[in-house]
Chain A
Amino acid sequence: MEATITKNFSIDEPIEKVWAGISNPLEISGCVPGAEITEQVDENNYKGKVGLKFGPVKAKYDGQITIEQMDHDAHTMTLVGKGLDSKGKGSAEMTMNGAVVAEGDGANVDFKMVVNIQGTLAQFGARLINDVSAHLMDQFVDNFKKLLAGEEFNNNLKAGSVMGAAVKGLFSKKSD
């Protein structure tokens, strides 16, 4: 099951500061809800974990993130992540393209992620992934802004809120 998730947001910080944060996997991973980097293998390869909980369904992916491309001048990057669910329910692959451009005194960040979930989790993911990921993305942007502003934040995943977002998403669709 493949899903494409895009996010575009503006931030009131200078582009160099934004890029420095975004291009550092150790810092950026701290902003991703439920994620952590456990080991830096080499310059471009990291090991990490991502945990997700959709109501009764939990998935915890152990995996590897590789920086495929990182252009500090053009401010573009491509990351590829691969993970296996620690309960053996399947695997996930993600390719993320990110770009930062100056926008007045601030910066505009553009993300495109293509996520492919294989295995039994796809059953639940199919209908929830867009709503859940939109929610996760919002949480990520909040965290990232706080990071750059030097404010405190935590990247714990609130299961209830994710499920709540999904349910809200389902109902808002019906009234379209």
Chain B
Amino acid sequence: MAIVFQKPKALKDTPMHYCPGCTHGIAHRLVAEALDELDIEGKTIGIASVGCSYNSYDYFGCDMIQAPHGRAPAVATGVKRSKPDNVVFTYQGDGDLAAIGTAEIVHAAARGEKITVIFINNTIYGMTSGQMAPTTLLNQYSTTTPYGRIADQHGFPINVCEMLATLEGPAYIERVSLHDVKHIKKAKQAVKKAFKVQIANKGFSLVELLSTCPTNWGLSPVESLKRVEDDMIPHYPLGVFKGKDLEV
């Protein structure tokens, strides 16, 4: 018998600190599988952001830089502009990318920076224990919307893929989900394609992965996956928003 599934080489052995059932672990694995299968770990530089995944450099085996909150796309721009032959990716949560880092992601995309952005959307701030994020859904409870998110007070959730797809810069934008095996496999293809877009020098690529936060949602890991399907996908439809017919 041969091994058909195991931890990808580009993921280090360090056990991850993420809460039980948190899909960060799956997202990390998909990125690492892409690095393995495209054989690019050696020339990849990853940019960790600030949030639950602040120390993703403890898990990814490639060279890594830890960026200030929201600034990973700018750090990645500095790296890529200095080392255009390297593969550069950022790994960011929804607070990092869509709140404090909105200007950085919009302009990196608008410039068509040849970087790959792995965007984890779990509709909440995880690390700081459950505050509202720009992607928090209306009526969703959080520690800063204790009575539910109310549009009149807290504004509306931001659909990042749709927003960035209005820009000319990006070459490939897709939203995927991690809520079941079938979707995880599709997510893996999207992540891999995003890296291929970069390697083929086609421009900016971003994959948004709908993810869970059992701890701060107050749900079990299994219930959390269900919430992604029932509550999140209706507001954050899956699909390719830019670069449908892009051949890489």
> Bound pair: A and B?
no
Using a CB–CB distance below 8 Å, which chain A residues touch chain B?
none
Using a CB–CB distance below 8 Å, which chain B residues touch chain A?
none
